[in-house]
Amino acid sequence: MTTDQWDAAALLAVYSAMAIYTLAFIAFAVDLARRSAAKPVMTRELVGAGASSAAEPAMEAPVAGAGRGARIGYVLTVLGWGVHLAGTLLRGIAAGRVPWANMYEFALTGIAVIVGVFVLSRLWRDLTYLGVFITGLAVVFLGAATVNFYVPPVPLPPALQTYWLVIHVFVATLATGFFALGASLSILQILRERRANGFLRSLPGAEQLEDLSYRVGVIGFIFWTFTLIAGAIWAEHAWGRYWGWDTKEVWTFIIWVLYAGYIHARATRGWRGSRSAWLQIIGFTAIIFNFAVVNLFFTGLHAYSGLVTN
């Protein structure tokens, strides 16, 4: 097959993945609607000596409550993810390299990682109640990226031909996957804190959501720290200095500092709870901004959107 044929196959897979994610989204939404109509489920709130881990057994509770809609949604998500991964892989084959060298490809891989973190988190904890967020996000972002950012596969400019592209960018997308999950949990936490009616009733308590969100966010932070350092080493190789306050460097730094602020807030009396949750949401907003706005509208050395801007 030629490059263009591989790429056409990749696009077909991406469109199919979007369709399947949409179905999953509907299934999750129906499940939520059903949940809000159902009788209140007893959610066990945090009890005990104030140690967060006392809540551990209670966290398993909502698993059992996951309805048929949620199960169908989850299965569809896994299916959509498989197709999405295939599409990403085909795109990589079409381009003859890793599929994350321009904005369209970042989006493809980044969203695959976000959904992947969600899908695999099941091995650790049942987070099916996040399905609506994750599939919704995947559909919207994949749609926006294919419509706005699509470019045919082209070879890498010399500055990107290095294993640092493989490491630095992939770890950044991994971090983004965890941050997305953390931010979704934070949103639910804030909602849960405000009201406990409708579907919110069927979710774990706000404190459990906060604990989960923190753990996920911390993993994202570790990856992001690594991204920052790997980026500096790469900049040293490519441009002769490890830090030059280029716009992309500035935003990577801003995001890192925001999350450091979040981690401190979680450990501060008066900030734990919805205040720190807001900080995590702001941090994730900065990530989206960094991807969608900084890449396109800010000038700098990282001009790799693959799009012709002027």
Partner 1 sequence: MSPSSSPDRAAADPLRPGDHVDAPEPAERTGSGPKLGFVGWLRFLWRQLTSMRTAIVLLLLLAVGAIPGSLVPQRSSDPNGVIQVRADNPDLVWLYDALSLHDVYSSPWFSAIYILLFTSLVGCVIPRLAHHWKAMRALPPRTPARLSRLVGFQTVAGDASDLDRADGVLKKLGYRTTRYGDSVSAERGYLRESGNLLFHISLLALILVVGLGSGFGYNGQRLLVEGRGFANTLSSYDTFSEGQWFDDATLEPFSIRLDDLDVLYETENRNAMGAPLDFTAHVTVNEPTGDRAAQIKVNEPLRVMGADLYLISNGYAPRISVRDAEGELVYDEYTPFLAQDDLMTSLGVMKLPDGLVEQLGLRGFFYPTAVQLDTGALASGYTDLLNPVLSLQAFTGDLGLDEGIPRSVYALETDAMTQIAGGDSGTEALMLAPGQTVEIPGGLGTITFEDVVRYGVIEVHVDHTQTPVFWIAMVLVASLLGSLLIPRRRLWVKAVPAGLELAGLARGEDPTLERAVDDLARRLRPPQAETDDSQPPRRTSE
Long-range contacts of residues 119-123, Cβ cutoff 8 Å, at least 24 apart: 119/74, 119/77, 119/78, 119/81, 121/181, 121/216, 122/74
Q: Do residues 288 and 85 touch, judged by C-beta distance below 8 A?
A: no
Residue number with CB closer to partner 1 (140 or 159): 159
Burial of 266 (0-12, 13-18, 19+ CB in 10 A): buried
251 binds partner 1 (CB under 8 A): yes
Alpha-carbon distance of 15 to 143, in angstroms, equals 8
Q: How far is the CB of 153 from ligand HEM (least distance, A)?
A: 38
Can you tell me which of 263, 282, 303, 307 binds ligand HEM, judged by CB under 6 A? Answer: 263
Closer to ligand HEM by Cβ: residue 164 or 214: 214
- Sequence-distant (6+) residues with CB within 8 A of 227 are 168, 171, 172, 175, 252
> 3-class SS at 153?
coil
In the list 16, 22, 146, 225, the residue contacting partner 1 (rule: CB under 8 A) is 225
Residue number, 111 or 212, with CB nearest to ligand HEM = 212
- Stretch 268-307 residues interacting with partner 1 (CB under 8 A): 268-272, 279, 294, 298-301
Residues 110-149 that bind ligand HEM (CB under 6 A): none
Single out the segment in contact with ligand HEM by CB under 6 A; choices: 59-67, 160-168, 260-268, 269-277.
260-268
299 binds, among ligand HEM, partner 1, none (CB under 5 to 8 A by kind): partner 1
Distance between CA atoms of residues 154 and 227, nearest Å: 25
How many angstroms from the chain centroid is the CA of residue 211? 18
Binding site for partner 1 (CB under 8 A): 3, 48-49, 51-54, 56-57, 151-159, 161-162, 164, 211, 214-215, 218, 221-222, 225-226, 229, 232-234, 236-247, 250-251, 253-254, 257-258, 260-261, 264-265, 267-272, 279, 294, 298-301
